[in-house]
Amino acid sequence: MKKLSAIAVCLFLAFLLIPQAPAQDQKTILHQISDAQAGIYERVGPSVVRLITSRAHPDIDAMKDNPMAPFLDPKNWEGTPFEFYFQGPDGEKKIHRFDNRKGQDDSENENEDEGQSEGKSPFHVNGIGSGIVYKVDSDAAWIVTNNHVIGDAERLDIEFKDVNPITEFDLISDPGDPKRNAFLDKKSDLAVIRLSKDVLGDRQLVAVPLGDSDALKVGEIVFTLGSPLNREQTFSQGILSAKDRSGVFPDQSDKEIRYEGFLQTTAFINVGNSGGPLLNVDGEVVGIDVAIQTAGGFSNGFVGIGFAIPSNRVKEVVGSLMDKGKVVRGYLGVLIGQPSISSAQYFNLPPKSGAEVVEVYQETPAEKGGLKKKDIILSFNGTPVHGTTHFQEMVARAPVNQTAKVEVLRSGQKVQLDVPVEEQPEQPVARVSGGEGMIPELGATLKGPDEEEARYYKDAGNFEGVIVSEVDPEGPLARKIPKGALITAIEKTKVTSVDQVKELLEKIIDAKSGRRDILVMVNFVPNSSENAEEFVIVKLERPKGK
């Protein structure tokens, strides 16, 4: 009887202890996870930098005839979230003088006389970004960031977690300059900064390891670390929510060569995170943060969709920039798109396979090799093509000045082609044309923005199009679209060159017969106070002889 009582007591005690054991285990696991995450930050934090960029602007008074002057005047930004970008890096409300001839900064109080120094700008524009210490050797340290962070910058402050900052570092990106220290690649949106031993001094930097982005799986835990919204080191967690994302930059021209195929994450990415790392649970860099998707407008910020450049592409691009000073890529000269659902079904193509030729540009390797519009590219050098991004990457990696084996589906028949691969042009096909031309149908002269004007419109909100340089006072645009406005679309088709406008108007006139009313989308920045595009109805004139 006593034996049975003892057994009962033991069972009762065991029953009491059962709920406590899992709770203790869960607490231990949570501590382990928390400690592991904190450990990633402690290891990687010293290798992540904050970049404060500076770029000089022309004197506002000297730009009185420039339509962008109101947009560039720092007084118009006072009290807005963007006020910082027209101040000094220390945040004080002062105007910086930048001597473009000597490259020297002579900061002065904004109340002092600003109009006496010929050739000097009364202010500069600041920017914020992030970067990683990519490599450290006996001669230099290399910082990797985005091209859009430093591409237009002239001067840079580099802030570290544990060592003193490098201030007023002059960026030199000219390939012909022996003192070159900035290496840019717009097509991938990557850039490398070389810090010589003299610049580093006694600073001891440690490179952060790169991981294999191809090995990532959707759903994995990832982290971001950078300087969002001008905040110093900020660490956040999320998951990898998708891979191979394209269409991130919807405003880009069809003819511009850009490389997307980005990683998508829910980890926090905001303005200022650009150039910072996307990390895996091992603390390895698996991506470089590059962009965010918002619900609309700058103020909305993070909404759970951020994008990063895969680390395997970073390795290729950065390695080439460091070794050769540029990236050598293969080039065919075609515009490609994903085969339509109907085409895929008709030809029994597997999902997300092949790449359809939308356009073959003249006098390019593609034209020489026999590629034709509507061809569906099935394989490249024996490797099956899995979508447009995959094909673009394969062509970029292909050896130049050699022939590639390309299999296409043409009118239902497989065709084998030998297509030469040439070196991709240094500059992407221009998004805007510098040409100018009279458009009789509109009674106006249009021109493509020059480099400076294009940059201003980009700063205003990534607007692209053609500028109205002259308006016939009796023509269709009179009293509707003023001189200096930017025409961005006609009948909902984006336009980026004068020739494109001419071709589009010819097609509209042929299709509409007697009806001449068309919708023209115009951006009036900076001719109005609003940064917005709107449609204007224009009645075309009938060109003589038609």
CB-side neighbour CA atoms (13 Å) of 271: 15
**Catalytic entry in 59, 185, 189, 289:** 189
Burial class (CB in 10 A: 0-12, 13-18, 19+), 246: middle
Contact of 462 with 497, CB cutoff 8 Å = no
- Per-residue DSSP letters for 252-296? S-TTS-----EEEE-S---TT-TTPEEE-TTS-EEEEEEEE--SS
Q: Scanning the structure block, which residue is given the tokens 């497989």?
A: 414
370-376 CB contacts, 8 Å cutoff, 24+ apart: 370/417, 370/419, 371/332, 371/334, 371/406, 371/408, 371/417, 371/419, 372/410, 374/410, 375/408, 375/409, 375/410, 375/415, 376/339, 376/343, 376/347, 376/349, 376/408, 376/409, 376/410
Per-residue DSSP letter, 229? G
The tally of CA atoms less than 13 A away on the side-chain side of residue 542 is 8
- Angle, vertex CA 119, rays to CA 116 and CA 121, nearest 5: 80
Contact 81, 299 (CB under 8 A): yes
Query: Among the residues of 360-516, which ranges form H helices?
Result: 365-368, 388-397, 451-461, 498-512
The answer to whether 173 is a known catalytic residue is no
Buried b (16+ CB within 10 A) or exposed e, 189-212: bbbbbbbeeeebeeeebebbebbe
419, 407 Cβ separation under 8 angstroms? no
Q: Which of 47, 173, 274, 311 is catalytic?
A: 274
Determine which one of 148, 213, 227, 311 is catalytic. Answer: 148
Which residues, 6+ apart, have CB-to-CB distance to 54 below 8 Å? 89, 96, 98, 124, 125, 126, 127, 153, 154, 155, 156, 157
Cα–Cα separations (whole angstroms), residue 223 to 118, 243, 307 = 49, 16, 12
- In the residue annotation, 274 being an active-site residue is answered as yes
* 449 Cβ contact partners less than 8 Å away, ≥ 6 residues apart: 432, 434, 457, 466, 467, 486
Active site residue 57: no
Q: Cα dist. 37→276, 304, 354, 482 in Å?
A: 17, 20, 41, 57
Element (H, E) at 363: none
Please tell me whether residue 251 adopts helix, strand or coil conformation. coil
Active site residues: 148, 189, 274
